[in-house]
């Protein structure tokens, strides 16, 4: 029983990282209809960047802050230099483009930081022991990051006038423009949010789950699976789905074999799409005829 | 009557319709020659690159077909590559099967894996297949790494190279000759496929899925087949790879291999089979070069350093040269041809061109449809009919006049709380024109779309020729003879006018993917092309047959859509606001065409805004208002139905009647 609870706790904290990535993916998907394959690379970039800054002698909070800002800017830069350059952004083109971006980011990380995984020092705090289940303070930081940052993005999109206009800009560019948001601005904001959220996920998870140049892809894919559970539009469902995914992975690692853990997400994706494909097709592909 | 006269005359040139066969033969011959000579001349490094590019060309061709034809992308092509290699290695090593059996096993295993992923994923549009295949790459890597049977991280090794006719394939030169025939055959098959009935159908799907399905194309089935085929080619590549490196390991399924394959296709030109082969060579060269170059620039760089080049080239090609090398070569080639053509014209200016007016006289006189016993439409008259009314192509109807061809019972569509169509029932008798009218927002188009299968009704049945078709995809009704045109034109813009009408013949064709690849459908295709051309002549569009469909003026595009629908020899033709956007003269022409078609036995249903036109044209009229059928009957009765007048023209019945009469005078 203690094992079970221990695994659940570990799964929830891991799931909160997936949830943050899912939030980032949905943030760009709702505005731009782009599934950003580089989403997970933002996390790795922020993790590796803050590790370097810490080892250069900066205090942890400063290092993290600089990393978050830099990755946010990098995401905006990617939007301006790559995504915004394509006039007719079909699904196929968007996949190839963001895959290209992801590959480029990965290779840059490989060249700058080398092939080994690195670890950011743990954030301050005391580990907890509740009924035999130990919860590391870093895990609380991860869950906290989800509540604050993920919740913040959710509230921004759902409650604020700007957030609603942002969502509207994908469907009703003209209406959004009247409210005062041009599609270009909306796209930049969405990518900034995605970059920031991804970076947060990267720094809070680095002390436990490490940062490595090639780690972003799988992380992003898991975020995508969670986002699919939320129909690629619902932040809430995606967050719940991500936490479930994390817990399930944790059980597989604990009770089956740790090597199979990474396969769970893919099986979930296939099974969900087989059982409830209609529930996941988001926008009825309304071809006007 | 023509707005776009093609000069000189309507010469039937096949070059516009069928890709140039001569160019293919020349290309394949050159490639074969290069393949034969290369091992004698190349250095050993070069030979190594050549062998790997040949191996990778196979999955790249597969990916190119998937992207070009199915409009989908696999980010896990390496997974199928690895599945092929592993299966092959296991069959050789653990079961000691003969090489051929093991190789076939490898290809089949890859195809089965593709079916498993493709069957659920290809039902969905968008990003699903891409990300699912990306996930598959991870799964395969994890599975072979974790499983004792597949040798975990060390993989499987210790199988020899094959022997062919007693000669062991033990050096790169021989191996190159061993792989190359497969690549060349694969290339030819793939080229055949892109031109085949299935290939043309798939590229139409990329232009307008709905229009293609309305002509009987089963999009989903074709996509699944192409995806499976693409995985099979990847599996074959994996089989050769296993032989070449004599070890299979989890790295084969790694993401960077998939990126490499994707880059080959994107660089070569999306959907171009030649491009995939060129891309394979260039990417292998690039990879080799980068692996040397980057550690020289950045000391200590190890691992997959070539990825930086992959990422950059991917982005740059999409941004700057979306059509890849194929597009670049075509642009240059077209410029050269223009220049030489201009020179030739200047030289031949004084010599009369004997072939210019051969077209009209040579026009085949076979009846449209080519069915024995069907009345032949007079073709010669097409060009000299003074009234501007097209001749009527032959039509066939499976029912006697007046029998019910289409029955709609209790058709209902709800969107949330809104009822768009409410319990509508009517019967369409064969050989008549039925008009479906109603004010804006009455539910006409919704009703129409439910009949054709574009949307699924909440409840109710649509029975066409005795079979319920509601809620099925449009191709289900279409293959039985129910086809349609579109209010907002759905033209296949990637092909010319005759290509569009040829697609109308899809229902009449039989050749599938395999016959298409083997090129065994020439007769069927040429016959259908001839029929399409005859029909275009009959409908007075013969002069624009070779033009890109999107370049026609609106009215002629609409006529072309009607023509495309007629080409499928439908039993029931549904027209969605066919008069919208047409000039008065064009409307008259279309109206007389529809009458003539009706007289020839075709059943027609039209949704129309233009009430006067419908009342003048239709034999029966159904009137919808607010989703409810308020009147149904002969035009005369409907015209005087108080409910209709009120619905259409407000509450004042007298004023309404007056306006109606006015409308009628205009008609």
Q: Is residue A192 part of a domain?
A: yes
**pLDDT for res B392:** 63
CATH number of domain containing A176 = 1.10.3470
Closest Cβ–Cβ partner in B125, B132, B134 for A285: B125
Q: Is residue A111 part of a domain?
A: yes
Q: Mind telling me how many Å the CA of A158 is from chain B's nearest CA?
A: 22
User: Can you say whether residue B581 is alpha, beta or left, with left for phi > 0 and alpha for psi between -120 and 50 degrees?
Assistant: left
A38 touches chain B (CB under 8 A): no
Q: Is residue A212 part of a domain?
A: yes
Reported as a single tens digit per residue, the pLDDT across B89-113 is 989 888 887 878 888 999 999 999 9
Interface pTM, i.e. ipTM = 0.86
Q: Do B304 and A263 touch (CB under 8 A)?
A: no
Cα distance between residue B457 and residue B447, in whole Å: 9
For testing contact with chain B, the best of A22, A36, A96 (most B CBs within 10 A): A96
Longest Cα–Cα distance of chain A, Å, equals 63
Q: Which residues contact B342 (CB under 8 A, 6 or more apart)?
A: none
Range B358-384 average pLDDT:
35
Range B619-628 average pLDDT:
88
Reported as a single tens digit per residue, the pLDDT across A226-260 is 888 877 778 888 899 899 999 999 999 989 888 88
Of the candidate CATH numbers 3.30.1490, 1.10.3470, 3.30.700, 3.40.50, the domain formed by B23-281 belongs to 1.10.3470
Cα distance between residue B432 and residue B249, in whole Å: 68
A83 touches chain B (CB under 8 A): no
Residue A46 banded pLDDT, cuts 50, 70, 90: very high
* Least confident interval from A280-284, B107-111, B475-479: A280-284
Q: Do A82 and B319 touch (CB under 8 A)?
A: yes
Q: Do B135 and A221 touch (CB under 8 A)?
A: yes
**pLDDT for res B348:** 67
Q: Is residue A289 part of a domain?
A: no
Give SS3 for B67. helix
CB < 8 Å to B135, chain A = 221, 225, 265-266, 269-270
Reported as a single tens digit per residue, the pLDDT across B548-577 is 888 888 888 888 888 888 888 888 899 988
The helix-helix angle for B219-245 and B77-93 (nearest 10°) equals: 50
The helix-helix angle for A216-229 and A264-275 (nearest 10°) equals: 30
A182 touches chain B (CB under 8 A): no
The CATH 3.40.50.300 domain(s) of chain B lie at: 404-666
Q: Do B304 and A107 touch (CB under 8 A)?
A: yes
For residue A96, pLDDT over 70 is answered with yes
For residue B19, pLDDT over 70 is answered with no
Closest Cβ–Cβ partner in B139, B266, B310 for A266: B139
Task: Specify the length of chain B in residues.
Answer: 667
Q: Is residue A217 part of a domain?
A: yes
Reported as a single tens digit per residue, the pLDDT across B204-253 is 888 888 888 888 888 889 889 999 999 999 999 999 998 888 888 888 88
Cis preceding-peptide flag for B384 (omega within 30 of 0): no
Q: Do A91 and B304 touch (CB under 8 A)?
A: no
- What CATH architecture applies to the domain B404-666? 3-Layer(aba) Sandwich (3.40)
Residue B390 banded pLDDT, cuts 50, 70, 90: low
Q: Do A289 and B311 touch (CB under 8 A)?
A: no
**Do the beta carbons of residue B543 and residue B6 sit within 8 Å?**
yes
A265 touches chain B (CB under 8 A): yes
**pLDDT for res A39:** 95
Reported as a single tens digit per residue, the pLDDT across B274-302 is 889 999 999 999 988 888 888 888 777 77
Provide the mean pLDDT of chain B. Answer: 80
User: Total structural domains in chain A?
Assistant: 1
User: Global pTM?
Assistant: 0.83
Q: Do B120 and A106 touch (CB under 8 A)?
A: no
**Do the beta carbons of residue A217 and residue A36 sit within 8 Å?**
no
Domain that holds residue A96: 2-280
**pLDDT for res A152:** 94
Closest Cβ–Cβ partner in B131, B139, B146 for A35: B131
Q: Do B132 and A96 touch (CB under 8 A)?
A: no
Q: Mind telling me how many Å the CA of A241 is from chain B's nearest CA?
A: 17
Q: Is residue A287 part of a domain?
A: no
- Which runs of E-coded beta strand occur in B87-211? 156-157, 163-164, 167-168
Q: Is residue A286 part of a domain?
A: no
A221 touches chain B (CB under 8 A): yes
CA–CA distances in Å: residue B377 to residues B374, B526, B533, B538, B633: 9, 20, 13, 8, 33
**How would you class B41 by CB atoms within 10 Å of its CB: exposed for 0-12, middle for 13-18, buried for 19 or more?**
exposed
Chain A with chain B: Cβ pairs closer than 8 A: 145
């Amino acid at each position: 029983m203690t094992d079970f609870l221990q695994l659940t706790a570990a799964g929830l904290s891991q799931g909160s990282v997936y949830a943050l990535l899912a939030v980032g993916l949905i943030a760009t998907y709702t505005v731009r209809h782009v599934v950003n394959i580089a989403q997970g690379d933002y996390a790795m970039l922020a993790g590796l960047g803050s590790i370097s800054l810490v080892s250069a002698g900066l205090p942890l909070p400063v290092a993290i802050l600089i990393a978050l800002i830099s990755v946010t800017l990098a995401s905006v830069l990617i939007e301006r230099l790559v995504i915004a350059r394509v006039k007719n952004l079909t699904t196929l083109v968007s996949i190839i483009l963001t895959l290209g971006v992801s590959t480029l980011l990965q290779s840059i990380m490989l060249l700058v930081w080398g092939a080994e995984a690195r670890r950011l020092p743990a954030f301050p705090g005391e580990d907890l022991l509740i009924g035999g289940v130990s919860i590391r303070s870093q895990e609380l930081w991860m869950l906290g990051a989800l509540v604050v940052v993920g919740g913040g993005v959710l509230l921004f999109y759902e409650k604020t006038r700007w957030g609603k206009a942002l969502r509207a800009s994908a469907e009703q560019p003209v209406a959004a423009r009247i409210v005062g948001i041009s599609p270009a601005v909306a796209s930049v904001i969405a990518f900034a949010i995605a970059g920031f959220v991804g970076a947060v996920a990267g720094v809070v998870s680095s002390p436990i789950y490490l940062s490595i140049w090639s780690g972003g892809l799988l992380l992003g894919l898991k975020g995508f699976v969670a986002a699919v559970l939320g129909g690629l539009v619902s932040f809430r469902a995606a967050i719940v789905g991500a936490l479930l995914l994390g817990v399930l992975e944790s059980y597989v690692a604990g009770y089956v074999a740790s090597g199979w853990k990474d396969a769970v997400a893919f099986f979930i994706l296939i099974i969900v799409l087989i059982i409830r494909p209609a529930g996941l097709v988001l926008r009825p592909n309304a071809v006007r005829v | 009557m023509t707005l776009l006269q093609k000069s000189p005359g309507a010469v039937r040139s096949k070059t516009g319709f069928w890709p140039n066969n001569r160019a293919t033969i020349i290309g394949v011959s050159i490639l074969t020659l290069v393949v034969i000579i290369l091992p004698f001349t190349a250095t050993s490094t070069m030979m190594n690159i050549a062998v790997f590019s040949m191996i990778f060309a196979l999955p790249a061709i597969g990916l190119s077909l998937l992207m070009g034809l199915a409009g989908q992308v696999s980010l896990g092509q390496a997974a199928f590559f690895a599945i092929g290699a592993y299966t092959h290695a296991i069959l050789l090593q653990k079961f000691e099967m003969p090489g051929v059996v093991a190789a076939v096993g490898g290809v089949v295993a890859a195809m089965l894996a593709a079916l498993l992923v493709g069957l659920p994923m290809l039902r969905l549009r968008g990003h699903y297949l891409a990300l699912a295949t990306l996930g598959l790459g991870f799964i395969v890597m994890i599975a072979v790494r974790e499983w004792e049977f597949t040798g975990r991280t060390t993989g499987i090794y210790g199988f020899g190279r094959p022997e062919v006719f007693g000669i062991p394939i033990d050096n790169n030169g021989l191996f190159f000759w061993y792989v190359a025939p497969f690549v060349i055959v694969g290339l030819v098959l793939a080229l055949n496929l892109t031109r085949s009935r299935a290939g043309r159908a798939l590229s139409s799907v990329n232009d307008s899925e709905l229009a293609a399905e309305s002509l009987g194309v089963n999009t989903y089935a074709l996509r699944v087949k192409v995806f499976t085929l693409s995985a099979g080619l990847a599996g074959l590549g994996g089989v050769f790879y296993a032989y070449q490196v004599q070890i299979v390991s989890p790295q084969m399924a790694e993401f960077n291999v998939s990126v490499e394959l994707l880059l080959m296709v994107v660089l070569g030109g999306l959907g171009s089979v030649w491009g995939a082969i060129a891309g394979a060579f260039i990417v292998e060269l690039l990879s080799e070069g980068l692996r040397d170059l980057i550690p020289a620039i950045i000391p200590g760089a190890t691992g997959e350093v070539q990825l930086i080049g992959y990422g950059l080239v991917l982005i740059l090609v999409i941004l700057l040269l979306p059509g890849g090398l194929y597009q670049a070569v075509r642009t240059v080639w077209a410029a050269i041809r223009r220049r030489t053509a201009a020179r030739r014209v200047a030289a031949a200016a004084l010599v009369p061109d004997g072939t210019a007016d051969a077209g009209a006289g040579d026009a085949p006189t076979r009846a449209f449809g080519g069915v024995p016993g069907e009345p032949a439409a007079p073709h010669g008259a097409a060009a000299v009919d003074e009234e501007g009314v097209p001749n009527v192509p032959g039509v066939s109807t499976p029912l006697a006049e007046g029998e019910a061809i289409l029955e709609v019972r209790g058709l209902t569509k709800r969107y949330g709380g809104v009822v768009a169509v409410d319990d509508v029932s009517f019967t369409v008798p064969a050989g008549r024109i039925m008009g479906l009218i109603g004010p804006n927002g009455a539910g006409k188009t919704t009703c129409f779309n439910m009949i054709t299968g574009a949307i699924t009704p909440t409840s109710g049945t649509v029975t066409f020729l005795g079979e319920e078709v509601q809620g099925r995809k449009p191709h289900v009704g279409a293959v039985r003879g129910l086809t349609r045109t579109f209010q907002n034109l759905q033209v296949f813009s990637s092909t010319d006018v005759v290509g569009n009408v040829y697609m109308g013949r899809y229902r009449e064709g039989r050749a599938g993917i395999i016959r298409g690849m083997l090129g065994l459908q020439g007769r069927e295709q040429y016959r259908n092309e001839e029929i399409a051309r005859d029909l275009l002549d009959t409908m007075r569009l013969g002069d624009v047959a070779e033009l890109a469909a999107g370049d026609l003026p609106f009215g002629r595009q609409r006529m072309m859509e009607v023509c495309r629908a007629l080409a499928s020899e439908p039993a029931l033709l549904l027209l969605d606001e066919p008069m919208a956007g047409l000039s008065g003269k064009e409307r008259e022409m279309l109206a007389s065409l529809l009458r003539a078609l009706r007289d020839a036995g075709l059943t027609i249903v039209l949704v129309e805004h233009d009430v006067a036109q419908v009342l003048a044209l239709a034999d029966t009229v159904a009137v919808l208002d607010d989703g409810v059928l308020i009147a149904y009957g002969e035009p005369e009765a409907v015209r005087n139905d108080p409910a209709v007048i009120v619905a259409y023209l407000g509450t004042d019945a007298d004023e309404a009647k007056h306006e109606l009469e006015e409308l009628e005078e205009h008609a």
